[in-house]
Structure formats: C-alpha cells, structure tokens
Structure 1
Amino acid sequence: MTDAQTKQSRLQPGDTAPAFTLPDADGKPVSLADHLGRKVIVYFYPAALTPGCTKQACDFTDNLDLLAGAGYDVIGISPDKPEKLGKFREKEHLKVTLLADTEKEVLTAYGAFGEKSLYGKTVVGVIRSTVIVDEQGKVERALYNVKATGHVAKLLRDLAV
C-alpha cells in the first residue's frame, strides 16, 4: 500500500460514514445504523489489553456520561476477537461499546488500517484514529494518528463538551 493509497482511503468531513455491523464483546451484532439520530465517536485502536489502548479506553469510559449527555455514543473498534474484548472490558471495567473487526474490513473502510511509522520503521497495522459521525451518518471529523494519552481530553475541548 502506497502513501497515496493510505491517504486516499482516509475519510473527509461530509463523507458518508461506511456502514458496519460487527460483533461486540458478547458476540452480539452492533451496527452504525443503530445509532442514527445520535452523534457517534468511532475510535480505532490496535490491541486490547495493551498500555496505550487501555489508557484510551479508560479515558473514554471515564468521560462517557459527559459525552452521552452531549449526545455522543462511543464505539471502540479493534482487530481483536470478541472474547479478548470481553476480558478487556472486565479487567478494566470499561463501559464503552467494544467491537471486533477481525477481518479488518471496517478498519480499512475508515482509513484506520495501513502503513504507519512505528519506532522509525514502516509497518502495516492499525492507525489509531477517531471518526466523529453526525446524526445523519455523515463524517463530521476524521482524526488520524492520534495519541493514546490525552486524546480524549483534547476531543472534549475540540467538541466543546
């Protein structure tokens, strides 16, 4: 995958957010369409039970009531299997909806999978990203290569929540 391909697949404000239905930590299907009428923060992370991803998931959980009060639902998507997401949720007492994209189709559709730089090397993997979808299913913001730490606080400021 070239840089041009990676950049082309990134979503832009105004794009229709790609539809998806993925299993949650209990194996139950969850669709983006289930959230029409509410804003949705869809965030993509590399792996459950790793330090950065845990920090990010805990930050979203800690601010979930605040975000929900402002009209936002939060969905975290990773390539992990539902069973691992269940362990992640239990161990960290997470309240955000965690979805399993083991085939990486949704990650790819959202531009959150591809070449990235990791410790100076170019690797292919999950690009930590956050996409904010409006009530009509359109992309409001698409943020790529976000930091695990401090990202939720910055998001709260940017969204004026």
Structure 2
Amino acid sequence: MTIAPGAQAPSFSLPATDGRQLTLDGLNGRKVVLYFYPKDDTSGCTLEAQNFQALRQDFAAADTEIVGVSPDSLKSHDKFRTKYGLDFTLASDEAKTMLEAYGVWVEKSMYGRKYMGVERTTVLIGRDGKIVRIWSKVKVPGHAEEVLAATKALD
C-alpha cells in the first residue's frame, strides 16, 4: 500500500514503551509525528531521537505527540530511552505490519548486499487522522526542526 498526503493514515495497534497499546484511534484529536527509524542505539537513529527530544517541549506546546517506531523489541526501546533520557513514546513493530502498511519496510542495499530494512521516514498526521506530510529518506541534521515548523503551521 502506498500512503500519500490527504489519505487516511493506516490504523495500527502496537505495544509501546509507556506500557500501553498504542493505536491510531487513541491518538485521534491530536497531531502526531510518526517517525520510523531502523535501529535503537545506532549513530543516526540516536541523533534523530536526541533531536526530537531536544524539541519535545515545542512539540508539546503545538499539541503534537512524537512517536518513534522501529522493529526493535520493547526491551531494546526501554534501554534506548533510559540511556539517552528520551521521554516520548517508542512503539515496537517486531511483526513489521505497521512498517509495511506505511511503506517503510523496503529492500535496501549496502556494499552490494540486498536486505530488508526500515527506510528512515517521518509522517505527520493531522487531528482528523489524515496524513498531512511525508518525509522520505530522511537526512537527520535539521529534520526535527523542519517537522516542528510543519506541525506549527497546521493550526
């Protein structure tokens, strides 16, 4: 399935770090930044998480929930959050159903070897559950600031 701005965001239900089952319906009425990342505690993913964390209060002031999603386990997410002092939700999609629904579980290539992995992508969902904007193949520097600006422009 291909997602696009203006379309209804695919629904999901995932275990999350704050002990709850995270669902799209449960986030309804708020703006949501879903950022998909490959792996906990790797350099690019750590920097991206730290950048979102640094702007956490600004996102909260814009009534926007930040949710990081990767195929890592909740145990891995908990260690990652503790190590870097992250206080936003990380959701675990070990089955990769949500990653596939959002089109971010893709074939990648490194040193000529092909493998399946997460393409670093951010999806901004409006209060109505519709996709507002998609950033594909994200480059981390300056990205969290760009997402925050787009979030603030929504209201």
For the criterion TM > 0.5, the same-fold answer is yes
What is the DSSP-based 3-state SS (H/G/I as helix, E as strand, rest coil) of the residue aligned with 2:41? coil
Determine the structure 2 residue equivalent to 1:33: 25
TM-score normalized with structure 2 length:
0.90
Shift of 1:81: 0.4
Determine the structure 1 residue equivalent to 2:100: 108
Q: Deviations over 1:31-72 (max 9, x none)?
A: 121111111000100000111101111111110110111121
What is the DSSP-based 3-state SS (H/G/I as helix, E as strand, rest coil) of the residue aligned with 1:102? coil
Structure 1, unaligned stretches of length 5 or more? 1-8
Determine the structure 2 residue equivalent to 1:5: none
TM-score normalized with structure 1 length:
0.87
Q: Is the 8 A contact 1:26 1:82 kept in 2?
A: no
Q: Which amino acid aligns with 2:96?
A: K
Structure 1 stretch displaced more, 93-102 or 150-159: 150-159
Q: Which amino acid aligns with 2:25?
A: A
Determine the structure 2 residue equivalent to 1:46: 38
Q: Work out the percentage of aligned pairs sharing the same amino acid.
A: 40
Q: Is the 8 A contact 1:58 1:94 kept in 2?
A: yes
Partner Cα distance (2:104, 2:41) in 1: 19
Partner Cα distance (1:63, 1:97) in 2: 14
1:59 to 51, 61, 64: 51
Determine the structure 2 residue equivalent to 1:72: 64
1:137 to 129, 134, 139: 129
Structure 1 stretch displaced more, 136-145 or 114-123: 114-123
Shift of 1:123: 3.4
Q: CA RMSD in A?
A: 1.7
Structure 1 stretch displaced more, 24-33 or 35-44: 24-33
Determine the structure 2 residue equivalent to 1:95: 87
State the number of aligned residues: 153
Q: Is the 8 A contact 1:52 1:149 kept in 2?
A: no
